[in-house]
Structure 1
Amino acid sequence: MRDHPVPRVIAHRGASGHRPEHTASAYRLALELGADAVEPDVVATRDGVLVVRHENEISGTTDVAGRPEFADRRRTKVIDGVRLSGWFTEDFSWEELATLRCRERLPGVRPGNAAHDRCEGVLRLRDVLAIVDAGPGEAGVVVEVKHAAYFLGLGLDLGELLLAELAACGWAERPDRLVIESFELGVLDRLRRSGVRATLVFLAERTGAPADEPLPGAPARSFGWYRGDAGLALLADRVDGISVAKGDLLRLDAEGRVLGPTDLVERAHGRGLLVYTWTLRPENRFLAPGFRSSERKGEWGDWAGEFGTIVGAGVDGIFVDHPELGVAARSARGVSNTPEE
């Protein structure tokens, strides 16, 4: 890959600290604030259109619950082992979803974002790619494939849909700007076998196991197992990197004070894996206890201290809601221009 500052600053669902997530204004602002890449999550509609939503259940991020014409679409489903009630993308056509308006997912923490509720509509993946194409420089895109095994059970192969969309939008031949990630190794395996030209990254939650475990011919493995030495060795033969919760990179004492980084980055790098981490946010609600400034969840704490500790651990990419803070944290620690292998 070509040279770039390390770690990459990846705008988590756009500049979601400033605008409702996954909106056009959030993505445009992320590029203006210096993000090296943006991260759209993709799920599918009933008619196979890839739309950009954090989850396929959309009542928390759109106005669907207040739309009487869709009242009868409310369902209760089990998604990746979790029972959820609400409105789901796979029960709508793209034409129907296009009528919905976005709203802030965390209004209690980010009331300023809620002022932009209902100002913008839902995006398709191709809309985000077009925004990046029209933006400054040559920013990258980190596509997160959500609930791949679940959608496959509905007859919607998100991997195949993604390959077709990338080809149609001119992104199939941009391997230096494209990352594809998922909490499920199966879809990443299928994409790798298809010959996709992208950096493939396995996402690992702090607890639990991937929704597609056990994979054929293998025992069931937890996310924790994948962060261990045996798991990292397996991943090194299958993907290019691992993306972990920031808590897996921080050593804490009994009172929640950060003592320094764990050895996860060192162990992953020793096996040739990139390491990304999520999600760096400045509000007290999201900071490790030792970096909080008060009990007020929406107030900003010592974000620079926490961000700096994580950047200092040597990660290759950081997911941030406020891209300018990620750029500042990287600059404070110094910038490396070492290319990825």
Structure 2
Amino acid sequence: MNKRFLIFTIVFLFVIAACSPKQELSPASGSLDKAEPALLPEDRFLTIAHRGASAYRPEHTLPAYILADEMGADYIELDLRMTKDGRLAVIHDNELQRITGTTGKVSDMLMDELKTVSAGTVFNDRNPDLAKLSYEQLTIPELRDVLMQFGTSVNYYIELKSSLKDSGIEESVIAELERYGITENQGQHDVPPVILQSFSEESLMRIHEIRPEIPLIQLYSFKENADLSPSELELLSSYASGIGIPADSAHAGFIEKIKRWGLDVHVFTVNEEKSIRKLIDMGVDGIFTDRPDVVREIIGRDDF
């Protein structure tokens, strides 16, 4: 082979490679060495009771969770925050004002102090048609209160509300779940008994290191049409089983893209029938709702 021909061949191959269309990275074309993320059940739509049946009873309280279970929710959702003394309070906001009408922050209070504040009085004031005198006696529960109430009779979808003050929240949550037997036989159920979610990538990666068999959902707060780059999806698929996104940001193209990676798509928070049906038609795998009875009714119809 003469030198001129060799140079021509190299240049020709370089041009062909440069002109070829770039392939979007997919699980088949490259992946990270990792412990495989836990799988969620295929062809199983999940009704996730957002803070319990919170359209009807005070959110994150035992009555809200009891009603959600009675309505047939697949999961009850809990938001967890660490108190000043390192205990796990079931509450969405760090500020107490919206739920209790009082000032203060969860992170600055002891759990026993939180349990002196009513978690139902504000709900009664805002919802006179649903108000009950007994709700005024409700307090902010601790994770162990919910686990003691339900044990393994329900499935838990838990969000870790992380902050710089919450060092060790991952280990604390896992320890509580193990103490009450929630993580036993994780892969031997119709649906996993517990799913953990967070906006913190680092937090989920830490959990994946500790208990890789627990399904993890990476939360995103897209303001409009959701999208993730191939490199973001590559990293995501190394530890997560799916994603959670605002319902308004969901669109068919994105859902299809996520599913090509073997990931599930759960959307929050949807209460109206028209929107629920639209999202189901798009192909989402689960819906967070304050009204689990409405979602269950829709998916139970013959025309679903």
TM bin (shorter chain) = 0.7 to 0.9
Q: Name the CA shift for 1:11/1:276 in 2 (closer, same or farther; >3 Å).
A: same
Q: Which has the higher helix share?
A: 2
Displacement of 1:318 in angstroms is 0.7
Q: TM-score, normalised by structure 2?
A: 0.77
Counterpart-to-counterpart distance in 1, 2:241 and 2:80: 20
Contact 2:53 2:59 in 1 (8 A): yes
Q: 1:133 aligns with which of 130, 151, 168?
A: 151
Give 2:241's aligned residue: 240
Displacement of 1:307 in angstroms is 0.8
Displacement of 1:207 in angstroms is 3.9
SS in 1 for 2:163: helix
- Write out per-residue CA displacement over residues 213-253 of structure 1, whole angstroms, 9 at most, x where no aligned residue: xxxxxxxxxx966x34442232112211100100012xxxx
Percent of pairs with identical residues:
28
Q: Output the aligned Cα RMSD.
A: 2.6
Q: Name the CA shift for 1:328/1:31 in 2 (closer, same or farther; >3 Å).
A: same
- Write out per-residue CA displacement over residues 130-169 of structure 1, whole angstroms, 9 at most, x where no aligned residue: 33337xxx431100001x13323xxx42111111111212
Q: TM-score, normalised by structure 1?
A: 0.69
Counterpart-to-counterpart distance in 2, 1:333 and 1:236: 35
SS in 1 for 2:56: coil
Give 1:304's aligned residue: 273
Give 2:173's aligned residue: 162
Give 1:182's aligned residue: 198
SS in 2 for 1:46: coil
Moved over 4 A (4+): 1-5, 104-111, 113-117
Contact 1:229 1:267 in 2 (8 A): no
Contact 2:72 2:293 in 1 (8 A): yes
Contact 2:121 2:136 in 1 (8 A): no
Unmatched runs of 5 consecutive residues or more in structure 2: 1-38, 187-191
SS in 2 for 1:326: helix
Give 1:320's aligned residue: 289
Displacement of 1:107 in angstroms is 7.2
Unmatched runs of 5 consecutive residues or more in structure 1: 66-85, 209-222, 250-260, 282-302, 336-341
| Aligned residue runs from structure 1 range 10-25, under 5 A | 10-25=48-63
Give 2:27's aligned residue: none
Q: Name the CA shift for 1:114/1:240 in 2 (closer, same or farther; >3 Å).
A: same
Give 2:264's aligned residue: 274
Give 1:255's aligned residue: none
Counterpart-to-counterpart distance in 1, 2:125 and 2:286: 28
Counterpart-to-counterpart distance in 2, 1:100 and 1:33: 28
Counterpart-to-counterpart distance in 1, 2:222 and 2:123: 22
Contact 2:269 2:289 in 1 (8 A): yes
